[in-house]
A = this chain, B = another copy of it.
Amino acid sequence: MKSKRVSIKNIADELKISISTVSFILNGKAQEMHISKELSQKVLEYAKLIDYKPNHLAQSLRTGKSRNLVFMMEDISNNFFSKVARIFEDMIFTKGYKVIFCSNANDDKKSKELINFFKLNQVDGFIIVPSPGLQNTIEELLKENMPVVLLDRFFEELKCSSIVVDNHRAALEATLHLVKNQFKNIGFITTTSEQTQMIDRLSGYEKAIIESGLQPNVLRVPYDGIFDGSAKKLIKKFLEHPGNLDAVFFATNYLAQSGLEVFDNGWRNKLGIIAYDDNEMFKISDISITAVSQPVYEICVKLMEIIFDLLDNNNPDHKDQRLVLKTKLIIRESSMTK
């Protein structure tokens, strides 16, 4: 099929030396092995001449390292995750690693299937945006000494490195911003999820509302509802029913999207709005929506640091590094006093 590649053996045969010598030289261990500069030079030149490329598969089989990482997120087509993916991808290739992105749809069954599938494929580590019931599966991975970093959410009781943002503070700050801008009846639209990131966003909202002497008003939408359209109906009803909401805070980007779709024309003149997670489209005037922006670039930098620390050192002390990054409230027209 493919045109035959040259192997280390070809070089050894041609140069009448052993494959071990070739291997040492190619791996930069010539000095260490006291191989003469002349021989090294000769091998390197010949390797370049015949365009030798090591077979990574064979290396992996021998060394047990595949230089493959899995990055399992909720949904790669989601704006937030796809931005993270793009940045992470650029960073990882410079390290000579590959990353396989996959989406678990926040579903435990799907998550487990994917993890099992990748375990067969000898990946070196996992970055995981865990679905709700994934704690045991991750615990197993850790027991097998697999490097794992959780992203966006974590499990209180599980000793595992993670990177999240300060969801509580972000929601608190955003809600207070609405309060400051004279909104009196601020609704919070979230999911039924009990995952840490959602709990924290809710508690931030509630704290701000109570501190301000206002009434909380929360709508919880089942996760599935976002895809089957029922979320839109629930949101519509929520907006109509108490009748006196003057602002809404969407707790996730997909809720914001569903929510914005159900609004009537002219909503922007009436309703204060903040969305969790920014989106390029929010910048467009005539819509211009205030949003909580996560530090996507910083998330990737930290992700790289932690996963490579785990990969390189496998230091047990580093297996439980929990990082909390700060978000930023990007204030636009939608949250201005009406």
Q: Which residue of the partner chain B has the closest CB to A146?
A: B2
Give the complex CA separation of A150 and B83 in angstroms. 24
- Chain B residues within 8 Å of A57, by CB: 57, 60-61, 66, 121-122
Give the complex CA separation of A61 and B64 in angstroms. 13
- Chain B residues within 8 Å of A98, by CB: 100, 118, 121
Copies in the complex: 2
Find the residue from A64, A66, A114, A284 having the highest chain B CB count within 10 A: A284
Cβ of A101 under 8 Å from chain B: yes
- Chain B residues within 8 Å of A77, by CB: 82-83, 85-86
- Chain B residues within 8 Å of A27, by CB: none
Whether B265 and A285, one on each chain, are in contact in the complex, defined by CB atoms closer than 8 angstroms, is: yes
Q: Which single member of B55, B101, B314 contacts A89 (CB below 8 Å)? A: B101
Q: Which single member of B54, B76, B261, B287 contacts A82 (CB below 8 Å)? A: B76
Interface string of A269-303 (1 = CB under 8 A from B): 00000000001110111110000000000000000
Cβ of A46 under 8 Å from chain B: no
Give the complex CA separation of A79 and B83 in angstroms. 10
Give the complex CA separation of A61 and B117 in angstroms. 18
Whether B86 and A103, one on each chain, are in contact in the complex, defined by CB atoms closer than 8 angstroms, is: yes
Q: Which single member of B61, B261, B266, B281 contacts A58 (CB below 8 Å)? A: B61
Give the complex CA separation of A324 and B1 in angstroms. 29
Q: Which residue of the partner chain B has the closest CB to A269?
A: B286
Chain A binding surface SS class: mixed
Q: How far is the CB of A139 from chain B (nearest CB, A)?
A: 13
Cβ of A145 under 8 Å from chain B: yes
Whether A261 and B287, one on each chain, are in contact in the complex, defined by CB atoms closer than 8 angstroms, is: no
Give the complex CA separation of A75 and B76 in angstroms. 12
Q: Which residue of the partner chain B has the closest CB to A121?
A: B56
Give the complex CA separation of A128 and B176 in angstroms. 47
- Tell whether A284 pairs with B285 under 8 Å between CB atoms, given A57-B122, A79-B79, A85-B76: no
Interface string of A244-269 (1 = CB under 8 A from B): 00000000000001001101111110
- Chain B residues within 8 Å of A257, by CB: 280-281
Whether A2 and B89, one on each chain, are in contact in the complex, defined by CB atoms closer than 8 angstroms, is: no
- Tell whether A93 pairs with B117 under 8 Å between CB atoms, given A257-B280, A287-B286: yes
Whether A266 and B281, one on each chain, are in contact in the complex, defined by CB atoms closer than 8 angstroms, is: no
* Interface CB pairs A-B, < 8 A, 10: A2-B144, A57-B60, A75-B86, A77-B82, A82-B82, A89-B103, A98-B121, A99-B100, A267-B285, A279-B281
Q: Could you list which residues of chain A lie within 8 angstroms of chain B, going by C-beta atoms?
A: 1-3, 53-58, 60-61, 64, 66, 75-79, 82-83, 85-86, 89-90, 93, 98-103, 113-114, 117-122, 143-146, 257, 260-261, 263-268, 279-281, 283-287, 314
* Nearest 9 Cβ contacts at the A-B interface: A281-B281, A77-B86, A82-B82, A260-B284, A77-B82, A57-B61, A287-B287, A77-B83, A56-B121
